[in-house]
Structure 1
Amino acid sequence: MASFCWIRPLQVGHGIRRSFQSRALLCTPKTRHPQKPLLFLPTHHRRSPSTPPSPRFTSSSTIPIPPDPPGDLDEAAQSIRCGLRDFKHDKWGWVIYRCSYGDDEAWTRFQRIINDRSRKDMAGRGFPPDLANSLEWTFVSDRASLDGASKEQLRSYFRAWVAEAEKVEQPRATVENGRDATKAQRYSFFIEVDEEALRSVADADLDNPFDEGWVNIVRCGEWDLGPEAREEERKRENIPVEDVEGDGDEGWMRISSHMVGPDFYDAIGYLPQDWYPFYRQPPGLVYW
């Protein structure tokens, strides 16, 4: 197991250094998306904590509860449960925005795949019924505001939702030991499903683990600056334009669709040092 040091900019002009043990491997398997390299990262867990604007949304919390777990509680289940208990939260899971409206059947299939995969995974690993039942993927559909929406627009909608959601969803929530409950994963990230992502999942070969499709996970933290603010900071730090990757927005990435589940939900955190060990600039794909 090789030890190496990974340096990524947090935003233009800033940096972070993180050393860790990894069996990282870059490869390009023969799939329907050969141009998307996969980034394999080590399995690790940490103890972590865990209505968008008027759109129509559906909840996944009506899925049947899995059977009682065996004696030894799964590590991810234990970590998520500890986060819920610490924050006095009753719900976990991400908001998933539909940003493509050309195929309703594909969207229905997408929702079914995400729900069924995560529920079967938890049932097979013996997640306690109360924890499995408190998972909610909140699927949001609103053609008028979300069709083709930019990530900045989605962040604006999401921030407005977060401002009220915790009060409504988590009435028992508290702030303990200086930990802000609004920084739980449910209120720090959301999933964007654009046309490419929708097609990649809905048309995937579910029997091929390298052809399951992807989604975009978008971070929505205080350091996720808008394009104007990113440009101002670039100029202030005297960073040449050619040194900025893409549009300079490192607050989103493509992740394999199976990562919309308990393991990655547990592993990812809202701080930059939790984000960058996974980060790969799109169109690169993170497979974990």
Structure 2
Amino acid sequence: MMKKKKLLITALSSVVLLCAAIGGGTYALFTSSAQNTGSTFASGTLSLTTHRNDVPVEGPMFYTNDSDAGRMGTGLWAPKDTHTRAMLIKNTGTLDAKLTDLVALPEGTSDQQAAALAFGEQAVVTVAALATPGGVTLNADALNQVNEAADQLFKTLINGPSFTKAMARSGQEAFAIAREAVLDWTYRVNNNGQTVEVSVSDAYVGSLKDLYNGGAGRDANLPNLILPAKKTMHLAYNVTFVDDTGLAFDNDAIQGKSVNFTFKNTFEQVKNN
């Protein structure tokens, strides 16, 4: 019996990380679109659309200065800086989807890509899927409060003493500790007069460079990151520039660099896998 080919779809979001410590920078535009291969299937369709929650216009997710392309500029990056942005991915098809791969691609010339990967060795990425009971849709105010609370969680966690001590022993140990803490996090928010408890259904924590992995990215290995048909997934992206104290890398080595990464998320259909 011939095995049916899995249906794949890639939601693209352009993410820029600029100006480690000091220096000028550029930015890339966020692409509010989805690429798909064979989105029509005998058992249904898989179609994803993406948009940012942070600004009312398309723009980069992380960028140095406010502009017409986007707001919430980060300013110049320095060790211990951490920033969180939200990405909403809506499944407009009839098939449930699951996140299978996360990739961070360095952009620019070979020198710029080398600088980006050097920054990637010193940056930790957290991608968390935020969930509400029954998939309740949060209004804009509630969503912003949740994003701010998640940002504070990441700030406290990645720059905390437990994470730093674990990083000195083993990056994988530190990432595992951080992931468990993220999975245990809950936040109550007022949404249209009702209290809604927001939790994390699954999360990835690891180095930014590991998400490149020679262009292959990483198997997300997040079994709970399922995006049902007609539902929207709220992904919180956090990037933290880790302080080098007690660690093997040197923050000063990338001072003045401008770096640009594109995050790419790959989804597969759940049915017929």
Tell whether the structures are fold-level matches, with TM greater than 0.5.
Answer: no
Structure number having the greater strand percentage = 2
TM-score (structure 2 length as normaliser): 0.30
TM-score (structure 1 length as normaliser): 0.29
Structure number having the greater helix percentage = 1
Higher relative contact order (CA 8 A, sep 6+): 2
